[in-house]
Chain A
Amino acid sequence: NAGVTQTPKFQVLKTGQSMTLQCAQDMNHNSMYWYRQDPGMGLRLIYYSASEGTTDKGEVPNGYNVSRLNKREFSLRLESAAPSQTSVYFCASGWVGDQPQHFGDGTRLSIL
């Protein structure tokens, strides 16, 4: 099925470890996004990429880096994980109007 695929689905890290969350979309969208969802706070934008080769900060970018590898793939990296980064991370692609953002099923990340 067409959509947004995120890997891994679950991950437990120790404080200070690094990891990369992967995201791929097959809908030929130019724009891709990374959000985090914390209890009671809805989804907050971490970084987004309006097109291949461009990235920009969202509302909560500190502690994260991103790479738009090609049109399909957009990765999120935690260089030195902290407990405050325990969250559910969602990747999305699309825009607004005729191309509303489509979301992956999320990566549940726990940092001990």
Chain B
Amino acid sequence: DQQVKQNSPSLSVQEGRISILNCDYTNSMFDYFLWYKKYPAEGPTFLISISSIKDKNEDGRFTVFLNKSAKHLSLHIVPSQPGDSAVYFCAASPKGGTSYGKLTFGQGTILTVHP
């Protein structure tokens, strides 16, 4: 049972355009959501996060949107750059207590930004 799903295995965009990566979740106990970027032969790198009390969080070119009623989040990258080409994972953490911090990851989306 995949509790966090990234239904698009890959996405290709032109440099300077917007990249939109999507993520859906099924567990209503998830309270905190994160996006990680991963280059080949490296570990995932934290990108941006959002708490369930918010519906938007921005950091430079990266914005994460959360729609709790739809159990959906998205990552917007504007403008996209060739260096953004990587695998992007969304992850979710349940609410407090002993399970807080135990991340559940999606399958990842390969983003390719063409010059």
The stretch of B12-20, B43-51, B60-68, B70-78 that contacts the partner chain: B43-51
Residue of A at shortest CB range from B9?
Answer: A40
Interface size range of chain A in the complex: 20 to 34
A53 at the interface (CB under 8 A from B): no
B46's partner among A33, A59, A100, A106 (CB-CB below 8 A) is: A100
A44's partner among B6, B41, B93, B105 (CB-CB below 8 A) is: B105
Q: Is the CB of A96 within 8 A of B107?
A: no
A64 at the interface (CB under 8 A from B): no
List A residues 43-66 near B (Cβ within 8 Å).
43-45, 48, 50, 56, 58-59
Contacts of B107 in A (CB 8 A): 40-42
Q: Is the CB of B43 within 8 A of A96?
A: no
Residue of A at shortest CB range from B35?
Answer: A100
Contacts of B106 in A (CB 8 A): 42
- Enumerate 21 A-B pairs (CB-CB under 8 Å) in ascending A order: A4-B43, A33-B102, A33-B103, A42-B4, A43-B89, A43-B103, A43-B105, A48-B102, A50-B98, A56-B98, A58-B102, A59-B104, A90-B43, A94-B101, A95-B100, A95-B101, A96-B100, A97-B51, A100-B46, A100-B49, A106-B43
Binding site for A on B (CB under 8 A): 4, 6, 9, 32, 34, 36, 41-46, 49, 51, 89, 91, 93, 98, 100-108
With contacts A50-B101, A96-B32, A105-B42 known, what are 11 further pairs, Cβ within 8 A?
A42-B106, A45-B103, A45-B104, A50-B98, A56-B98, A58-B102, A90-B44, A92-B43, A96-B103, A100-B46, A103-B36
